[in-house]
Each structure stands twice: as C-alpha cells, then as structure tokens.
C-alpha cells in the first residue's frame, strides 16, 4: 500500500481544483466571509489540496452518518480504516506508513473532521496525536515498526490511558501502578483504572501510563494478549456530548505487559504531556472547524428564516452582531493555530503556546457556538439543525486535555513565575 | 374531591416543619448560602409550607424518574395526575377545583418542579399557565366548568397551540385559520400547523389560536371529538433538550370545532399574550430553581472532588468565584420574581415587568449553569451529574416564550418609545 | 436646631408632591422605565418623601457644581453643612442630632447623591457610615455627645483611617501602632500612615484604626489638638476618578491621643468591618443611582442623536439592548439593596449579604455604565455628557471597600466553608 | 535631510542589538510572555530594528512627558518634529521624504507609540494615515511635492476633517459644503463645521472633506492662507481621555481654497474611507501596544504588591487569569494585524478585514485593560500607575474611526449580504 496517497491525491486535486472561493486573485482583493483574514494565503498548494481532500471525505462520508451516530451513541469502527486509507491518521509522522505532511496540513485535516463533529475528531486525535505520537516519539524502532503501520492504516485502533477517576487535571497523582512480575522476568503487571478514554472499548492497542517505582512510564497494552480477567474496557454510555465517539474505561488487574511494550525513552509527565501537546494543537485547529460550521449554519438559517414583515433574520442588527463576532473569533483562532503549527515545524513552539491556543480557541468556539445557537430560536432543539450537537460537544472539548482554567494557570505561571495551582 | 388539599397539606406541614435551615431566628442572623438574601423572609407561612410540599413531592417522586425519562424522551403521563392530586396544577386559580394560592406560592411550586427538570416544569406550565389560564381568563363560565376541573386534577392533559413552523417570535403572522363550516352552523373548521407544542401528543384539550376573518381567536379542541384525518399531533423526537417533556406538532385539516369551544371574550394577541405572561412569570421562578440545583450540585462536587495535593476544588479561587456568581444571580432573580408576583396579585404588574424578569432570570440561569458545568470537568459529560441536562434545558427555556433578544426589544420599546423589531 | 427637619420636610413634601411618575395608580398598572420593577411600591410614604427631598437638593445644589469640581479636583467643604442642614448625615442614627430614619430611607438618600456623583456620595458616606457609625456603635455616651452632633450638622468633617499604603484588601496586617505615652499617663501615641482616605485633608475628626499591643483599636484624632509635626494629611492629587471628592493620606508620628478618644467597646476588625458594612450597604444603593443616571442620559442622547436617514439612535436594536440591560440591572440591584436594608432593620442582615450586594451592584453599575458610554460615541469624551465621569468613578466604587474579587472570596468562603484568600 | 534615516538607523541597530528577549534561538524554544505566540518570528530583521528604534524613542522621549501632558491636556508640538526626524511619519509612503517601510514596520511603529499613549499615537496617525495618506493616494504629483515632505519632517502639522457635530458614524450625511467662488475663478468657498479633529488647533494643513455639488471632495486648507474670520480651530478642552493629544473643531465660513488644493482623483466616500482604512490598520497595531503596556504594568504590580501573609498578588488564581486572558488577546490581535498588513502589501487586503481587526483589537484592548485595572485595586486611581489613562484612552480608541457596533454591522453586511444600518 502506498502511504503517499494523501500527497498524491493532494497534487492531483491541485490540478483540477475549481477556483477556490477562498483565495483571491492577487490583483483584486475580495472579502470572503468563510476565511475573513485570508488564512489560506499562508498555506502551501499542497496544504490546500490536503484540506480539500479531507473536506471532501468529511462532508461526503462523515456528515451523512453523524446524526444517527450521535443519537444512538454508535461509533462506526470503519471510519478509522477509511481515514487510514486516505492517509489522515498520524499524518504528520514521517515514515511507518504515514503521510509526513506539515503540522499545518495535519491541523487542517483535524479542522475538517471537527467541522463535522468533535467526536469524530476525538476518535482521530486519540489515534494520531496520542497513541501514534507517543509511540513515534518515545518508542524503539522496533515498537514503531510493529505498531505504527497498523495504526496508520486504521486496521488497528489505538487509545491513550492517562486520566483516572480521581485524577483529571492532576495526572501526576495517578494511582495506576506497574510492578515487575514476581516470577516472570521481563514482564510487568499493571493495576489501576483509567476513565473517559476515547476509543478504549474498541481499541486494539492501549498506550497506558502507570507508575513504576513511583515514576510514570508508558506501556502499550495489546488487548489480544491480555489474559481473561486482567483487562476490561467497559463503555461509558449516556454521555451528554461527543456521542458520535466511543468512550470507556480501562480496568487493569495485574494485567501482564512484556518489557518490549514499555516505552524506553521517557519517564515522568514528559511522555503524556508531549502527546497531549500534539493533541491540543490539533484541537486548536479542530475547534475552529466546529465553530465555522456553526457560523455557516447560523448564517444560512438567518437568511432563510423570516420573521416580522418577511425580513430574514439576517437583516437584524442583533443577529448580525452574533455572526460578526463568531467570524472574527474563528479567523483569529485559525491564524493563531497556524502560527503555532509553523513554529512547531521550525522547532520553536513551546507547551505554553499550545496551552494558549488550545484554551482560547476552545473557549471562543464554545462561547460563539452558544451565541449562534440563539439564532435558531426554538428550532435549535431539533438535532437536525446540528447546532445543539456542536454546542454540547464543544463544552467537552473545552474541558478535556486541559480545562480552560488549568491552561489559564499554566499561562499565569509562565507570565509571573508563580504557580497558583495550590 | 377536596381541592383545598394543597392548603391543608401546607398548614399541616407548618405544624411539624423541621426548623428550616433557610429561615433565621430573628435574633441571630446567619447567612444561608441556599437563600443568600433571605427571600424566604418575604413569604407567608402558608407559602413556605406550600413550597415544602412541592419540594418534597419533586425530590421524592420526580427526581428518581428524571434520568431515564431524559435519556429515553419518555414523559410519564401520570405525573400530571400526581400533580393534580396535590393541587399543584393551576394553583393560583380560584375555584374550579384549583387551590387558589398566591402568585408567589404558585411561583414557588414552579421553582421546585424546575429544580428537578425544566421539562417537567414545562409540562406543568403548559397545563397551568397556558391552557388553564386561557380558559379561566377568557372562557365562559360554562367552559370553565367543563374544562378546568379535569385539567386541575390532571385527568385531562392540556396544551397550547400558538407557535407555527414559520412564525416563532412573531405569532401575529400566524397562518392557521378558522372559517365557518360551509354548511354546519355553529361549527368552525380549523386548518394549519402548530409546532414545538409541549404536551401536544398526549393532550386531551388543545387551546389553539387561529385567525378567524383575520382576527386571532382561541379554540379549545377536544381530541376525542375530532374526526379521523382532521387532527394529528405527531411527537417531535430526538430533541437536544427538554427530553423529559413531550413535544409535538398540531396539524389541523379542516378540523371541526363547535362554537361553544371558542373563547368568546378575547380577540387578537391579548389572549395568547395573557397566557404567555402567566407562563413567563412562572419561568422566572422556575429557572431560578434549576440554577439553584446546579449550584448545589456544583458546590457538592467541589467539596468532594480533590485535585492537587488533596485539596477539594472548593478551595480554589476560580471555583469559588463561579459559585459566588451563581448564588448572587439566583438570589437576585428570586427577589425580582417575588416582587413581580406580589405586584401581580396587587394588580400592579405589567407585561414589560414580566419580559424583564423572564429574560434576565433565564439569561442568568443559563449563563451560570454553563459556568458551573465547568466545575465538573470531564465528569460533566456523564448524565448522572445532572448538570448537563440543566444546561441543555435552560437554553431552550431562555429561548421559548420569548427569546432573550425579543424581550430586550420589548423593553427597549418601553424605555424609548421606539420599536426596533423591523 | 431641630434635627427632625428631614422628617418634617418629608411630611410636608408628601402633601404637595407632584403625582410621581414612578408610582402607579393601583387600578391601572403602567410600566415606568425609571423604576421598572416598581421598587417604590416597597417604600413608605415617608421614605418616598425623603427620597424626594434628597433628590431635589442633589439636582438643584450638587448637580450644578459637579463639573467644575471634577475638573479641578475641588471639593466644596460647604456641602457637608448643607447636607447636615437637611438631616442627610448619619440619617439612620437615632438621636444626637440625627434624623433616625429607616435604613431604606438612608439608602435612598445615598442613591440620590450618587446619582449626581460617586465622589459626593463618598464624602457623605465617610462622614455618615464610617466616622459617625463607628462612634455611634462603639463609642461611650460621652464620645457620642461630644462628636456626633457636630458631625450630623456637617460643622465637623469626619474621616476614617483604615487602609494603609501596603495593606488594602488585608487590613488585618496594618502597621500603624498605638503605644502608651512613656511618661504621660492616659495618652497614646499613634504612628503610621493611612492612604486613600476620603476627606482626610479637610477632616476635623479622624477615626483611625491602629494596633495597640497587637490588637486593632479605634481612636478619634482631633486635628486641632495635635501638636505640630505629629499629624499631617496631605491631599492626593491627579486622581483618575472621584475627583469631586477630596482624598488624602494620614501621617502620624507619635501623634498623642487621650484615652478619652479611644473607642472602648471594640477590638480587632469588628470595629472597622461594622463601619464598612454600613458604608457598603450605602454603596449598594448609591451605585444604582449612578447607573440610573447613566441610563437616563444615554436614553436621552439616543433619542436626540440622529444617524443614518434621520433615525434616532434609540431606534436601533444594538442601542435598545444596551438600555434594556442597564434598566434590568438597575432594577434588580435596587430590589436587592432594599431587601438587605429591610433585613438590617429587622436584625437579620449578615455581612455576607452586604458583600453580595456591594459586589454585584458595583459590578453591574460599572459594566453597564461602560456599555451605555458607547451610546455616546465620540461625544462620550466630552465631560459635559457626564457619562465618562460616572464610568471613571464607578471603577473606584467597585474597588474600594472591598474589591469585587475579595467579596467573591468572602462569598465563596460562606458557600463552601473553605477560605481561598491564601 | 536624509529620509533614509529610519532604515539606516534600523540597520545599524541590527548590528549591535542586544540579544532580544523576544526572539528565541531556533534550537531551544523558550516561552516569552511578552510575545507569547512569537509574532516576532514573522518580522524581517529590518522590521525588528525599526521597532527597536521606535521603542527606544518612545520610552526615552515620550514616556517621561506623558503624565504632565495628560494632566494638563498639553500636547507638545515638538513631538511631531522629533518623529519626523526619525522617519516615523508617513513611514510606509515611498518617496517625498518618507521612509518607505513595509506596512508591518509602520504598524510596529504605531504600536510602540501607543504603548506609551493612545493620544500620542492619535497625533501621529492623523499626520501619517489620514493627512499624508490622503494626499499621497489622491493628490497630484504637485500636491505631493508641496505638502508631503513638510508633513514627513513634522515641520508641518496636518489634520483630517471628516466628522461633523451631527454626523459621526454616518459621514455621508455631512453638511459641510464647497461652492465655487461667485467671482473668483479657481477658488472654492468652504462652509461648515468639523469636530473631534485631532491636531486641528495646531495643524498647518487641514485635509477637509466637503460636498461640492452634492459629491464629497477633499480640500487641503492651508491655515496661513485663510483670511481672518473664515477659518477657526478652537480646541475642545476637558476631555475625559486622549488628553495628551490635542483635539478641536474646524469652523469654516466661506473659507477660500484654491482649486490647486482640491484632491483631483477622488470623489465620494472612497477618499476618506481609504484614509480611515489606513488609520484603522494602524489602530489595530497600536491598541495592542497599549494593551501590552497594561499587561506589563499589571504584572509588575502583581509581583511587587503583597497582600495576605506576604504573598504577591501574582500568586493568586484570580489575578493570574486576568493576566493570561490579556496576554492571549494581545498575542492574537498582533497576529491578526500582521496578517492584514502583509495582505495589504500584497494587494490582498479588503476594508472588511480592516473593520474586523480594528474592531476586535480595540474591543479586546479595552476589555482587558479594564480587567487589568482591577489588579491595582485602589491604586488604580493614581495616575502614576498609568493604567487608568490607558483605560480611558482605549474607550475612545474603540469608538473613533468606526465604533465597534458600526464595524459589526459592516461585517454583518459582508457576511450576510444584508445591510442593517437602518
């Protein structure tokens, strides 16, 4: 299989692309409300083509499924394979069957997926940014060879076990432990519980963080090799959001993991935080996709819906202000995400930058989606308008991988040199 | 059946009431975070007792049902009968099997129901404030005798058909029409569609507003008397909120209604607006109940949940600010609702006052519930914490019976003398 | 001189009062945008008459002076005497030349003064709520007789020295000390600095808090009796707000105070906090007066100013929303202040209640005044529109006597039982 | 005189620049709270050097003057000459004694000036973006030769007369008219009033917009050539903000202007709007400078000020959140301004983009400066902390050159295709 598919597709698309509304001829500038500050001017042709590929897939293949998936909390496992087919998984990784595109291109993929649904994006992020990044950054060459191609193709599903029932914002206090097997050399036994783990019920590979001799280490648990009774991943049902993704727990009871599955090169919170940073950068892009979808839908609705003497809602000042605010925040957030992605590829990004854009973009996406929801009036309660789904999702997106206040305190510490967590 | 049950129960309760935490001994003032500005000092003993009765019922009978009801969009029709049994329906109406309590008492009942769920409150409001109030205020004595006792007991379910698919904020443009039956004297034929009608799929009586010769008139449609094919009330499913209530459409196709079922004393929007004002006043109370429940749950969670060196979340400044803000808005909103309720009983309330408190209390309930939701972090996504349900509900509560912006323009018109709707 | 003047004037006024727009005939309710929730229905005739007296004085005597006073930071000392003449100083104190009116009446006076200017209200509050309340609550009968009548008449000016350069929100850490005179029995020597003290440069009596043997005690310093070099009260100039009041420091260098001038009945922060609570309750009323003035001025401007085809600004949705929001917060804040004032007179108010209303009313007054300022466009920069002055003042009003965040943490502690100050 | 001074200075500076804290070694990324998203990575070396030159001048020459200037409303006319000396005026214009730097460089100059004071920046903007841009874009070669060098050097002061007493947001309704002199061919007579004109009382050249035969045209009025009684520019005193700049009216009574002083190439609002767009882009940069100064000052204060057990304010969560929010908005706003500046130089910027960034950056600068002001507690009232000055200034900056709501409606129109101004 040729992993260069994404890039090839991108290049082919370039040739035949319709004159994209979002790019201006250099001679006569035209305002494009869908890209108000012309962020697309910052993208390479390849990046634009990749975005088109991703958007086409998302709108044609994901969008038609999302309503039922959300209603029934029914995640379609085949989505990972479809994404793998297109090269969307672990796209910024070089080699091992991955596309090796820029961080911006990877962010644009994320944005297109979340334009449909944050849950679908979560499923992809967990695979790409958390599981694959962890193995790619901290695994041995042998581990990369063993695990990454399967994850890249979507034939294997991965997940990432960090959060525990009693330790959300403070993973350093985790209770899950690994200990050496008392008799079987080269084997560790893991015991503990992880919760709110996207994909855990369907994952084949679980990158789980546990304390070994008091130090946090990463272990790749292969479900197929776990003895009965040592490893369970019950689904969490009746979620109030992200219902198009599947979420569960990971319960380990002396679950044996061979030393070959321990990530050798990392200790402490560096490992999980590196993965989280990768995911958070994706979220900074993704949340802007969800917000843009809310904006597009609210605009469309406001143009179609007429009240008071046949005026479309779009004619009213209070409506226009909501649209203008949302467009502004989406444009600003996209620029900031692109900047950090470029810095990352130049080796100049820092975790605090990622805290800033993850926090701000999620906060603004959530805030504006709620305001845009008002445009729909009572119809917002109908799931067929999709806005309520985005609003519910974005609350969780704001919360996970660092709740807004936590990132505020990370930034506050970076600004003042004082920590205020306790 | 003795409709004085509520008052009797209230009085009995008074005798044996536990020393309520919410009332201070007059000698030594103690701050009660559940009633920070001591609104209870404004209530009569009877009102306090009625509130206790209602709270006991709601917490003991409604609370245990709400989770499943919300998950499955499954409203239990028996609730109306239970409420009727206790005298909670149409409670401020005098006679016709109703309790005849003060508007404040009625508001406190509403608050207790919405403390459990806005959907349950919606079901009650539609019965009491919309259907019963409409008949009580504008019906003939004969109509009151025929319909009110059954509605008060909950044996009959009522609903209120005003909103149409194309006319939400602007009911004056409704398209539903009534015309005289071409041959059958004393009968009107109603044709048109109403939507987002709480209780419509289960209602026995539908108070529907339609234009007769261009003027809006009210008709009580008795489902049991409608010929097949003239009257349908399909449920609207997959709502993103208020799932514990049942909502539907009313589709009328030359549905015959006898003249005896037309409200004789009202024409134009006065009729529906009078009912809406009654309901909105209830919502001003009810939304404060939902907010208080969010506050209580967030406070409890913040005291139990420990992060960072074993500190409860309640110890953190950013958490405390959220709690303080919510408590403040709940206290202010309650005082304002009580004031307008007292004015109403004194004949001094105006629709603009009700616009003000409906709008502000809904806005603040929604805003604060969302902020409090953040306290729960990722756990907010679990419906067992209830906060997500309140958040989703309160968005609709803010929206229906006058979206926030509409009430802003009503107030703006009252303040400036200029209308800005078009 | 007859201290019952205020009450008499009030009663006389009652007889001839113009039909007040703000009160409705009981038969036909009319919405009054200046009192949207009819708070005036909660006032006695006497209270209404006192408010009228105060308003008349403020509008006729203070309003014409404020522009120049603010521009030049030039407080007119005669104002205290004028207020004393009318019985407005220490109005809720019974006896000692004070009017002995209800706390609501006292709050309404405060509101009328701050309707003109928060600085004028500050000058009055310091005299009434801080200096006079301190002496009245904790002084000996002899101290009350000596000091209160002069303060009540405005012939003596008082001030209140608590805040220090290094200790604002945390007065318990004050550094000012009192020690027994090494040789002169019955005399204390006070040393230290107080800052941001309203009226200090013109005050005759300074109620200063200092630590004696580590315990905070109150001393009434009579300026006229201080030896040269022991007591200085330099003015703080070039303030960015409250420029119509005079503010300064109090610098004490072994300033001798006789034991007869020490408040005998209070120790610790109880003394200053009792005074502050009285002042804060006044601020909760006063800030609503300033906000109402902003609203009135913005409304007037919006009706007069025409833009775009001759429409008055008042016709635009974005303007109406600002007005509606402000009117709502003013109405809510007034109701809350009245409630706590009534509770205070019934012995049922607590400091936390006062924290809540001081915080919320100041926050909302500040927020809305800023929003209303936008209505004036560029003209807001002209001081003749007065709005900029209110905005600047209200920031300080929000900050002093407990900054908003501090009160949030006081409330947070009351709600959770956990303190989060450190 | 060598107009290449700015560029030369820039290049010289480059050689000896201290290792700028704001730029990271490419190998090891370090978070810099003063440039959190590393906007400086987007600047050329020349641009960075120009920013350094400007900052040095502003901090060394402007900062020491601002306090007295603001207190006394006393603008120092020499500032324009100093700026001219350094090449800061009309810096993005090519030729005519101007530096010809990039729009980004020009924006960075603006930012540095406004870091000191928005009034100083206003004085510069009027000269550069309004007067000079107008002449440069629409003047004849002869007009450019006559006027631009003097303006570039600061020896001539320019101003821009568009706003009228009755027409702020809607300049198209202006009342100022030009008519042909009844007898003197080649001369126009201008009559009308302009107000809120920065620099008008000191300007030598006034670019005034007036209707000639119903069409808006631009005229350069040379004060020195106006007959007595035909041209007055009274100062507006007692401003509540921007007091370090000088503002006035322009009153014209048949003021004669030769045809050689009429801009030949523009008609209608295109002329003034082109100038305003240039100025607004500058404001988008400048407001971020003011915000950054607020942030720096609040941070410093929070680190120095200790309350409650000796903790610096910087240690508290509620303080850190304020700092984090402000830093985020400053970083986002800077990126957006840089993007539009780059687009402008590439011929791809549109007026709507400039509306977006002018509005958002001003709104956020104002909002955050107010929040940061709270950090200072009571001390914010002292002008020596500078924060109150920024807050007052930023309100006007938000308001002038398109009030926030006006830009919202411009954006709303661009998004929806519907205009909502009337």
Q: What is the DSSP letter of C382?
A: B
| D155 contacts chain B (CB < 8 A) | no
Which of C167-171, D82-86, D95-99, D331-335 has the weakest average pLDDT? C167-171
Cβ neighbours of residue B391 under 8 Å, at least 6 residues apart? A395, B294, B366, B369, B370, B373
The pLDDT of residue B145 is 98
D340 min Cα distance to partner chain C (Å): 26
C33-68 confidence digits (pLDDT tens): 999 999 999 999 999 999 999 999 999 999 999 999
Q: What percent of chain D has pLDDT over 70?
A: 94
Selecting among A46, A112, A114, A401, the annotated active-site residue is A401
Determine the residue of chain D that is closest to C238 in CA distance: D383
Q: How far apart are CA A293 and CA A287, in angstroms?
A: 10
**Arithmetic mean of pLDDT over chain B:** 93
The pLDDT of residue B29 is 87
The pLDDT of residue C308 is 81
**How confident is residue C23, by pLDDT bands cut at 50, 70 and 90?**
very low
Report whether pLDDT(B14) > 90.
no
DSSP result, C52-65: HHHHHHIIIIIHHH
Q: Which residue has the higher pLDDT, A120 or A14?
A: A120
HEC profile for D358-412?
HHHHHHHHHHHHHHHHHHCHHHHHEHHHCHHHHHHHHHHHHHCCCCHHHHHHHHH
Q: Which residue has the higher pLDDT, A130 or D20?
A: A130
Report whether pLDDT(D25) > 50.
no
Closest in A379, A381, A403 to B377, CB measured:
A403
Determine the residue of chain B that is closest to A400 in CA distance: B378
Q: How far apart are CA B371 and CA D53, in angstroms?
A: 45
Closest in B71, B170, B307 to A308, CB measured:
B170
Q: Coil, strand or helix: which one is A252?
A: strand
* Cβ–Cβ under 8 Å, residues C36 and C53: no
HEC profile for D146-210?
HHHHHHHHCCCCEEEECCECCECCCHHHCCCEEEECCCCCCEEEEEEEEEEEECCCCCCEEEEEE
* Residue of D313, D317, D322, D375 to mutate, testing the B interface (most B Cβ within 10 Å of its Cβ): D317
Nearest to residue A378, comparing CAs of B242, D22, D188, C186? B242
Q: How far apart are CA A111 and CA A269, in angstroms?
A: 27
For the residues D348-377, what does the mean pLDDT come to?
A: 97
Q: Coil, strand or helix: which one is C307?
A: strand
B408·C325 Cβ contact <8 A: yes
**How confident is residue B22, by pLDDT bands cut at 50, 70 and 90?**
very low
Q: Which residue has the higher pLDDT, A9 or D247?
A: D247
| D22 contacts chain A (CB < 8 A) | no
Tokens of C378: 């560029």
Length of chain B counted residue by residue: 422
**How confident is residue A19, by pLDDT bands cut at 50, 70 and 90?**
very low
The pLDDT of residue D2 is 38
A403 min Cα distance to partner chain D (Å): 13
Question: What radius of gyration do chain C's Cα atoms show?
Answer: 22
Q: What is the DSSP letter of D3?
A: T
B316·D317 Cβ contact <8 A: yes
* Cβ–Cβ under 8 Å, residues B281 and B354: yes
| B308 contacts chain D (CB < 8 A) | no
Closest in C170, C196, C384 to D307, CB measured:
C170
B46-101 confidence digits (pLDDT tens): 999 999 999 999 999 999 999 999 999 999 999 999 999 999 999 999 999 999 99
C46 min Cα distance to partner chain D (Å): 37
Range C30-41 burial, b when 16+ CB lie within 10 A, else e? ebbbebbbbbbb
The residue written with tokens 């607004």 in the block is D280
Q: Coil, strand or helix: which one is D59?
A: helix
* Cβ–Cβ under 8 Å, residues A198 and A122: yes
**How confident is residue D8, by pLDDT bands cut at 50, 70 and 90?**
low
* Cβ–Cβ under 8 Å, residues B416 and C320: yes
Q: What percent of chain B has pLDDT over 70?
A: 94
D265-303 confidence digits (pLDDT tens): 899 999 999 999 999 999 999 999 999 999 999 999 999
**How confident is residue B17, by pLDDT bands cut at 50, 70 and 90?**
very low
The pLDDT of residue D265 is 82
* Residue of D118, D377, D383 to mutate, testing the C interface (most C Cβ within 10 Å of its Cβ): D377
Range A235-248 burial, b when 16+ CB lie within 10 A, else e? ebeebbbbbbbbbb
**How confident is residue D23, by pLDDT bands cut at 50, 70 and 90?**
very low
Q: How far apart are CA A112 and CA A92, in angstroms?
A: 16
Q: How far apart are CA A107 and CA A115, in angstroms?
A: 12
Cβ neighbours of residue C348 under 8 Å, at least 6 residues apart? B24, B26, B29, B38, B41
D238-275 confidence digits (pLDDT tens): 999 999 999 999 999 999 999 999 999 899 999 999 99
Report the 10 Å Cβ neighbour count for C73: 18
* The pairing of beta strand A177-180 with beta strand A231-232: unpaired
Report whether pLDDT(B405) > 80.
yes
The residue written with tokens 């060459």 in the block is A141
**Arithmetic mean of pLDDT over chain D:** 93
Question: Across-strand partners of B382?
Answer: A239
| B346 contacts chain C (CB < 8 A) | yes
The pLDDT of residue B21 is 38
B355-366 confidence digits (pLDDT tens): 999 999 999 999
* Residue of C302, C316, C318 to mutate, testing the A interface (most A Cβ within 10 Å of its Cβ): C318
Q: Which residue has the higher pLDDT, D151 or C22?
A: D151
The pLDDT of residue C12 is 59
| D29 contacts chain B (CB < 8 A) | no
Tokens of B397: 């509560």
* Cβ–Cβ under 8 Å, residues D106 and D51: no
Q: How far apart are CA C308 and CA C293, in angstroms?
A: 27
Nearest to residue B355, comparing CAs of B340, B343, B345? B340
Q: What is the DSSP letter of B36?
A: T
* Cβ–Cβ under 8 Å, residues B358 and B280: yes
B318·D318 Cβ contact <8 A: yes
B299·C416 Cβ contact <8 A: yes
Report the 10 Å Cβ neighbour count for D292: 23
* The pairing of beta strand C247-258 with beta strand B311-312: unpaired
A347·D27 Cβ contact <8 A: yes
D241·C395 Cβ contact <8 A: no
**Arithmetic mean of pLDDT over chain A:** 93
**How confident is residue D20, by pLDDT bands cut at 50, 70 and 90?**
very low
A278-287 confidence digits (pLDDT tens): 999 999 999 9
What does pTM read for this prediction?
0.94
| D422 contacts chain A (CB < 8 A) | no
**How confident is residue D11, by pLDDT bands cut at 50, 70 and 90?**
low
Report whether pLDDT(A30) > 50.
yes
A395·B370 Cβ contact <8 A: yes
Q: How far apart are CA A260 and CA A135, in angstroms?
A: 12
B296 burial (CB, 10 Å; 0-12 / 13-18 / 19+) is: middle
D122-153 confidence digits (pLDDT tens): 999 999 999 999 999 999 999 999 999 999 99
| D31 contacts chain C (CB < 8 A) | no
Question: Across-strand partners of C248?
Answer: C197, C235
Report whether pLDDT(D1) > 70.
no
D26·A346 Cβ contact <8 A: yes
Question: Across-strand partners of D252?
Answer: D192, D231
Task: Give me the residues of A, 163-182, that contact B with CB < 8 A.
Answer: 163, 166-170, 173
Phi-psi region of B24 (alpha: psi -120 to 50; beta: other; left: phi over 0): beta
For the residues A197-206, what does the mean pLDDT come to?
A: 97
- Write the CA distances from A323 to B139, C202, D403, D415, integer angstroms: 44, 54, 17, 8
Chains that touch B (3 or more CB pairs under 8 A): A, C, D
């Amino acid at each position: 299989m040729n992993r260069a598919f994404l890039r090839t597709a991108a290049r082919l698309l370039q040739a035949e692309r319709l004159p994209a509304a979002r790019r201006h001829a250099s001679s006569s500038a035209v305002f494009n409300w869908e890209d108000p500050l012309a962020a697309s001017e910052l993208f390479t042709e390849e990046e634009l083509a990749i975005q088109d590929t991703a958007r086409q897939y998302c709108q044609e293949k994901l969008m038609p499924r999302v309503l039922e998936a959300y209603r029934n909390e029914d995640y379609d496992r085949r989505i990972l394979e479809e994404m793998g087919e297109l090269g969307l998984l672990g796209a910024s990784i070089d080699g091992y069957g991955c596309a090796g595109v820029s961080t911006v291109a990877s962010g644009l993929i994320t944005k297109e997926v979340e334009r449909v649904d944050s849950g679908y994006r979560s499923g992809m992020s967990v695979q790409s940014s958390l599981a694959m990044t962890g193995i790619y950054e901290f695994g041995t060459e042998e581990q990369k060879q063993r695990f990454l191609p399967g994850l890249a193709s979507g034939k294997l599903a991965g997940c990432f076990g960090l959060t525990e029932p009693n330790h959300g914002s403070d993973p350093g206090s985790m209770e899950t432990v690994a200990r050496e097997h008392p008799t079987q050399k080269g084997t560790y036994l893991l015991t503990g519980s992880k919760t709110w783990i996207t994909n855990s019920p369907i994952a084949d590979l679980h990158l789980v963080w546990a304390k070994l001799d008091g130090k946090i280490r990463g272990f790749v648990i292969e479900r197929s090799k776990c003895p009965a009774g040592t490893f369970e991943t019950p689904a969490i049902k009746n979620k109030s959001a992200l219902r198009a993704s599947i979420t569960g727990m990971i319960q380990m009871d002396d679950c044996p993991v061979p030393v070959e599955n321990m990530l050798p090169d990392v200790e402490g919170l560096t490992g999980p935080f590196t993965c989280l940073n990768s995911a958070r950068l994706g979220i900074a892009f993704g949340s802007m996709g969800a917000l843009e979808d809310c904006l597009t839908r609210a605009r469309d609705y406001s143009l179609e819906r007429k009240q008071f003497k046949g005026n479309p809602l779009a004619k009213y000042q209070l409506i226009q202000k909501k649209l203008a605010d949302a467009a502004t925040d989406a444009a600003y957030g996209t620029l900031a995400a692109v900047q950090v992605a470029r810095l990352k590829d130049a080796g100049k990004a820092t975790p605090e930058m990622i805290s800033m854009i993850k926090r701000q973009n999620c906060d603004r996406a959530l805030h504006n989606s709620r305001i845009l929801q008002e445009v729909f009036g009572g119809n917002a309660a109908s799931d067929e308008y999709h806005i309520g789904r985005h609003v519910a999702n974005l609350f969780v997106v704001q919360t996970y991988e660092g709740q807004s206040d936590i990132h505020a305190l990370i930034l506050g510490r970076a600004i003042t040199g004082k920590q205020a967590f306790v």
